[in-house]
Amino acid sequence: MIRNALIFFLFVIILPGCGTSVSQKSTDIVIFHAGSLSVPFSRLKEEYEKRNPGVSILLEAAGSLVCARKITELKKPCDIMASADYYVIDKLLIPDHASWSIRFATNEMVIAYTGKSRYSDEIDSSNWTDILLRADVIYGRSDPDKDPCGYRAVMSLMLAESFYNIPGLARRFIAKDRDYIRPKEVDLIALMESNAIDYMFQYRSVAIQHKLSFIELPDEINLGNPALGDLYGTVTLDIDGSRPGEKMKVTGEYINYSLTIPRNAPSAEAAEGFVSFLLSSEGMEIFRQSGQEPILPFSTDQPGLIPDNFKIYLR
């Protein structure tokens, strides 16, 4: 009798414990994303986890090219990759590591600064080239081999050379302040906050998110006008490719952010749920509130390979 009571007592204690363990099991969604997406993705993560208590979003920010190489070279597990340039996914991940990508947001290049930047009371859209080239002024940019913002900064300078008809302008900028090149665009924020640099080539959304002043560049330079694709396409740059020592050519283009779910995503089904939320009107409103405009309607170069759950967003 005592033995049976003891067995029943242990059963009552252990069974709820087992049930609790199962119910508390969470699903991790690992996301590699461009540094310029840090603010909207943090907000998306917060809202999605609130609505889905069993899901944990793990965010890793890096230059988009670095994100891709984590998948292709380091074989790191990843459920979603979001790039500042659709070209990175289409060129480096498709078809071996992913089947499709969806373009979902845009941006534009600006010159960001603070009230402590040298000549901040003087600079404007007509004299920024002269001021940034002054010997006592330091400007920063991100690394073209790691980050689309880096090669877009160089492309903007190439376009500026033609737009302003200043031969050698891009070369002079590229040779200047090379100690202040960083792996991704958001790394430049710390340099600016510490007054190590006066100005930086930056995305408009990042400048807005960090409450920085910025000079808006002409559409012919800022890579933000879809109607000027042919003009942007007149500039090209060689950057590091998918293998050590290999180079690939990138061509100037209207800024398109894109995302994908890699072929070997450990939590592919859960990742589809997050992507659906990101592409929804609520998700896009988070981007708008973060100073970044959606590309509507969304587009893809692989329409036949897009998961059925996402096709509604492409209409």
3-state secondary structure the chain: CHHHHHHHHHHHHHHHHHHHHHHCCCEEEEEEEEHHHHHHHHHHHHHHHHHCCCEEEEEEEECHHHHHHHHHCCCCCCCEEEECCHHHHHHHHCCCCCCCCEEEECCCEEEEECCCCCCCCCCCCCCHHHHHCCCCCCEEEECCCCCHHHHHHHHHHHHHHHHCCCCCHHHHHHHCCHHHEECCCCHHHHHHHCCCCCEEEEEHHHHHHCCCEEEECCHHHHCCCHHHHHHHCCCEEEEECCCCCCEEEEECCCCCEEEECCCCCCCHHHHHHHHHHHHCHHHHHHHHHCCCCEEEEEECCCHHHCCHHHHHHHC
For residue 27, the cross-strand partners are 55
**Amino acid 1: pLDDT:** 47
Tell me which of 25 and 158 has the higher pLDDT: 158
List domains and CATH numbers for the chain. Answer: 27-106+256-314 (3.40.190.10), 109-240 (3.40.190.10)
pLDDT at 2 over 60: no
∠ CA(199), CA(106), CA(98), 5° rounding?
A: 115
Residue 25 above 70 pLDDT? no
What are the pLDDT digits (tens) for 120-136? 999 999 999 999 999 99
- Say if residue 290's pLDDT is above 90: yes
User: Rounded mean pLDDT of 141-161?
Assistant: 97
In sequence order, which residues have a C-beta less than 8 Å from that of residue 233 and are 6 or more positions away?
251, 252, 253
Residues 83-97: what's their mean pLDDT?
97
Tell whether the model's pLDDT for residue 263 goes beyond 90.
yes
pLDDT digits (tens, 9 = 90+) for 4-23: 444 444 433 333 433 333 33
Cis amide prior to 53 (ω within 30 degrees): no
pTM of the model: 0.90
CA 42 to chain centroid, in Å, comes to 12
Phi, psi dihedrals of residue 259, rounded to the nearest 5°: -140, 160
The whole-number pLDDT of residue 243 equals 74
Nearest to 66 by CA among 196, 217, 223, 182: 182
Residue 172: how many CB atoms within 10 A of its CB? 15
Mean per-residue pLDDT over the chain, rounded: 92
Helix axes 281-289, 38-51, angle to 10 degrees: 140
